[in-house]
Amino acid sequence: MTDQSHDWAARFSDRMARVRASEIRELLKLLDQPDILSFAGGIPDPGLFPAEEIQKGYQAVLADPVLSRQALQYSVSEGYLPLRQWIAERMTRNGMPCEPHNIMLTAGSQQALDLIGKLFISPGDPVVVARPTYLGALQAFNGYEPAYRDLPDGALAAPEAVDLPSGALGYFVPDFANPTGVSLTLAEREALLAMADRLDMTLVEDAAYRELRFIGEPTPTLLSLDIARSGGVDNARTMFLGTLSKTLSPALRIGWVCGPKAVIEKLVLLKQGADLHVSTINQMVAHRAVSEGYDQHLHRLRGAYGHKARVMLAALDKTMPKGVTWSHPEGGMFVWIDLPEGIDGAELLARAIAEERVAFVPGAPFFAEVQRANAIRLSYSLPTDDQIEEGVQRLARLIGRVMAE
Ligand code: PMP
């Protein structure tokens, strides 16, 4: 025994310099006071969880003597074969022909981001992301010490002129992005692929919100456009990330990567080292849940989120002062608000909590290379219609006051 305590901080690896708690997340943790109307949490409405189907699934799997032995046992790192088959068939039907060997199950798509970072990013390697992009992807990649490069504003209108390092990893959320709610048009997707060809980029398509479209028809995925030119998923430069978190339940932790077989084989080795496999019983229960009535369930989700989005957009139209603009999502969970120059989203949050008891996520942390402070993210997924209307009114009142100061 010595009386000196161990200096843990001095022993952390160099890469931990890049791994920091975000101040915003710390602040948002304090927000569960009941009088605060929060647009901060970008998480599914728990009222839409198919709890009964999931309960039946666990019961059925555990009541069956053969299935229960399998369900409670270790299993292969690639994932439960019937679920991989279901995923491969669904992706094939959606313009992305692939085989179960092109699919690996992950603990949510968040783990796919981490494993992809581990497989592709050496310290200093260029990683190209949208401005703004999903904060969780930056957090997953940060540990691998990339050199982030923002996709320049307007790049997809003139992809031949974009000046970015060749050989980069490019991460994009083409459908109803977190944090903006905005989707890439078909022309933008084609431009992105043309740019990727010219700059020999590897693409990650994060499709977390793709199934939550409530207006219009789906736009082809990057992977489907890539396959149409390259001839097959094994020749593609794009990896596709899917998840059941936004449609069934995030607690099941079921996500997947679809990519060339050679890439999946490497990811399986990393998955083995990380956590062996996704919970066997959860994969089996998820498989039962998606095998029956999944499309009807999606229909219900789209109706519910579409309704909430309309309530929020109408409230914004009615109350926001001139000079404030916002995105018009056709799916997903988010509206992105551009504030007039000089209004800082983080300062606005502090005042919103103190003066109006309303909360949201400031925009700055979603920028990888060059930050922009005058934006905020609202999510309509959790609050009720009344809360959305009241909360937007409070926010508009505050922004009006700040603009007048
Ligand atoms: N990608 C995006 C764009 C997300 O918003 C999220 C969840 N916030 C994830 C991936 C991760 O979700 P999960 O790990 O639950 O699949």
What's the DSSP call for residue 337?
E
Say whether pLDDT at 126 is over 80: yes
Residue 285 neighbours by CB under 8 Å, 6+ apart: 54, 57, 58, 61, 252
Which atom number of ligand 1 is nearest to the Cα of residue 243?
16
- The token pair that represents 369 in the structure block: 């290379």
247 Cβ below 6 A of ligand 1? no
Amino acid 344: pLDDT:
97
What mean pLDDT value characterizes the chain? 95
CA of 207 to the centre of ligand 1 (A): 9
The answer to whether 392 and 312 are in contact (CB under 8 A) is yes
User: What does the pLDDT average to over 201-206?
Assistant: 98
**Substitution candidate for ligand 1 out of 110, 141, 212 with most atoms within 8 A of CB:** 110
**Substitution candidate for ligand 1 out of 134, 135, 173 with most atoms within 8 A of CB:** 134
CB atoms within 10 A of CB 364: 18
The answer to whether 355 and 365 are in contact (CB under 8 A) is no
110-123: string of b/e by CB count within 10 Å (b at 16+)?
A: bbbbbbbbbbbbee
Amino acid 30: pLDDT:
65
CA pair distance 205, 258, nearest whole angstrom: 10
Q: Which of 2-16, 274-288, 322-336 has the lowest mean pLDDT?
A: 2-16
User: What does the pLDDT average to over 49-67?
Assistant: 97
Amino acid 17: pLDDT:
86
CB atoms within 10 A of CB 323: 13
CA of 333 to the centre of ligand 1 (A): 12
CA pair distance 195, 202, nearest whole angstrom: 11
Higher pLDDT, 3 or 367: 367
What's the DSSP call for residue 331?
B
Which atom number of ligand 1 is nearest to the Cα of residue 244?
16
What 3-state class would DSSP assign to 315?
helix
The ipTM is 0.99
Say whether pLDDT at 29 is over 90: no
User: What does the pLDDT average to over 9-18?
Assistant: 90
Write the pLDDT tens digit of every residue in 332-367.
999 999 999 999 999 999 999 999 999 999 999 999
Q: How confident is the model at residue 20 (pLDDT cuts 50, 70, 90)?
A: confident
The answer to whether 243 and 109 are in contact (CB under 8 A) is yes
CB atoms within 10 A of CB 230: 17
Say whether pLDDT at 303 is over 70: yes
Pairing of strands 375-379, 334-338: antiparallel
79 Cβ below 6 A of ligand 1? no
**Closest by Cα among 153, 147, 140 to 165:** 147
- Kindly tell me the sign of the dihedral angle through the C-alpha atoms of 233, 238, 243, 246: negative
CA of 322 to the centre of ligand 1 (A): 33
What's the DSSP call for residue 213?
B
CA pair distance 160, 114, nearest whole angstrom: 30
Sheet with strand 238-243: strands edge to edge: 103-106, 255-258, 238-243, 202-206, 169-172, 126-129, 147-150
This model's pTM is above 0.90 = yes
CA pair distance 332, 20, nearest whole angstrom: 28
Amino acid 19: pLDDT:
83
Amino acid 42: pLDDT:
87
Ligand 1: residue whose CA is nearest its atom 2: 208
Say whether pLDDT at 23 is over 70: no
CA pair distance 253, 107, nearest whole angstrom: 5
